[in-house]
Every structure is written in C-alpha cells, then in structure tokens.
C-alpha cells in the first residue's frame, strides 16, 4: 500500500495537474475570503469555508480522475490485476494519495484565518473554535467526496468520463438536502439524513456532532469498499 501511495504522490507532483488544482483552489478561496471576511467584515473564516462545498463537487473529481484511468493509459492495469498485491491495498493507497493532495490544499488555506487574527480587534478571534470545527467538517466532507469520485471512476477507463461521472454524482449528493426539503415527508427526511452537506452545515456553525463524525467515516469507508469490490469483479473477468 505504501508503494502505491508513494507512486501516486510522485505522479501527481510530476505533472501540472496537482499544481493547477491547488492554484485554482487557492485563488477561489482567496476571492471568497476577500468578499466574505474583508468586504463584509465577517470575523469567522468558517463563513468562507461553508461557501466552498459546491466547488468541491468540481475540484474533487479532477483530483481522482487519473488514479484508475492512468493504469489503462500506462499499460499497468493488467499488471495490477494479476499481481499478488491485494486490490484493497491498491485502492487504499490511491485514495490516501488523493487525500494527501486534498490536505495540501486545505493546509494552505490556513493562511487566511491567520490573517484574520491580525485583522480582528485585539489580535485574537473569538471564533477560532468555530473555524476549527468548520475545518474538521470540510476535511470530512472532502474525504467522503473523494471516496465517491474514486468509486465512480472505477467504472471507466477514460479520465474525462471519470471526471464527469464524479461531478454528476457529487452534484446529486450536494443537492440531496435541498431535494429532501422540497419533497418533505418521510422520503425527504431520509434524503436529508443521508446528505453529506447537511452534516457539514453542523460543523460550520461550531456544532461538533459525534454522530456526524461516525457518519462521514462510515460513508467514506463504504465507498472505498465498493470501489474495491468493483475492481475485484473486473480482476476476474
């Protein structure tokens, strides 16, 4: 698994993809920071983070689109399928490589709440706890989105198709809360309960819910497991 992880990380940073994604994301966060925290004088960076959920639906599939499609492109797909290394090790190694890229993006954004510490009167921010909670939620949301995008990419050998299917799947999840609220009733309640974004909203207002933490971990693990099962099925076809 560690070998797969190192190989994927090296692959990310040998190509311009990771730098372009990180650069685009930082520009986007900087723009929202300027609007929300500077122009509108919001003292909490969590306000900015809560606005970025939609953009993760587009950024995450770009991170994961190459993980499985590259094996076909480089001619290593058959080697992986026939090698003694387990498919679980392959998938988990690739997942954590993508997660490492995502965490690089997240860590770079911490410059903005640090700036707020100097802007807020007295040099401290009373909302640091809320910002910390929002970061935890943002990381958990990103981790769950990565697992979904990786799963959808396991059905195709094209990077473009992997990216598109990932975006579509994540958009469905993104709007699940709104759809549930519109439908109402039992079905609406079920949709809202399953919505990753609804759980994220709790974190952005400083409410740390242990049930939400378990939800995200379980959600992520299930989609990683589903990816392993799908690739194992292909392994023996």
165 pLDDT exceeds 80? yes
Question: How large is the average pLDDT for residues 143-161?
Answer: 93
Domain coverage including residue 202? 2-235
Quote the pLDDT of residue 123.
Answer: 47
Residue 235 has what pLDDT? Answer: 64
pLDDT classification of 50: cutoffs 50, 70, 90: confident
How much is the average pLDDT of 63-75?
76
HSE-CB of 73 using CA atoms within 13 angstroms? 11
pLDDT band at 112 (very low <50, low <70, confident <90, very high): very high
- Region 111-140: mean pLDDT is 79
Contact 108, 22 (CB under 8 A): yes
Asked if the model's pLDDT at residue 73 lies above 80, the reply is no
In 3D space, the residue among 48, 172, 42, 34 whose CA is nearest the CA of residue 106 turns out to be 48
Q: Are 67 and 9 in contact (CB under 8 A)?
A: no
What whole-number distance in Å separates Cα of residue 233 and Cα of residue 152? 15
Asked if residue 219 has pLDDT above 90, the reply is yes
pLDDT of 204 higher than 90: no
With cut-offs at 50, 70 and 90, classify the pLDDT of residue 35. very high
Q: How many domains does the chain have?
A: 1
DSSP 184: -
């Amino acid at each position: 698994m560690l070998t797969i992880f190192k190989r994927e990380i090296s692959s990310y940073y040998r190509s311009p993809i990771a730098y372009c994604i990180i650069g685009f994301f930082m520009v986007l966060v900087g723009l929202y920071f300027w609007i929300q925290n500077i122009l509108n004088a919001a003292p909490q960076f969590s306000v900015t983070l809560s606005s970025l959920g939609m953009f993760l639906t587009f950024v995450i599939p770009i991170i994961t689109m190459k993980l499985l499609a590259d094996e076909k492109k480089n001619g290593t797909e058959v080697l992986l399928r026939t090698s003694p290394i387990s498919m679980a090790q392959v998938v988990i190694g690739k997942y954590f490589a993508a997660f490492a890229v995502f965490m690089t993006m997240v860590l770079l954004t911490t410059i903005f709440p640090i700036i707020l510490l100097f802007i807020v009167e007295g040099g401290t921010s009373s909302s640091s706890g809320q910002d910390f909670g929002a970061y935890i939620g943002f990381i958990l949301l990103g981790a769950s989105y990565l697992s979904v995008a990786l799963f959808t990419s396991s059905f195709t050998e094209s990077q473009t198709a992997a990216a598109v299917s990932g975006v579509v799947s994540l958009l469905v999840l993104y709007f699940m809360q709104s759809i549930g609220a519109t439908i109402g009733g039992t079905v609406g309640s079920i949709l809202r309960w399953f919505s990753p974004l609804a759980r994220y909203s709790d974190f952005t207002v400083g409410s740390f819910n242990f049930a939400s933490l378990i939800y995200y971990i379980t959600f992520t693990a299930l989609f990683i497991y589903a990816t392993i099962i799908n690739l194992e099925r292909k392994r023996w076809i």
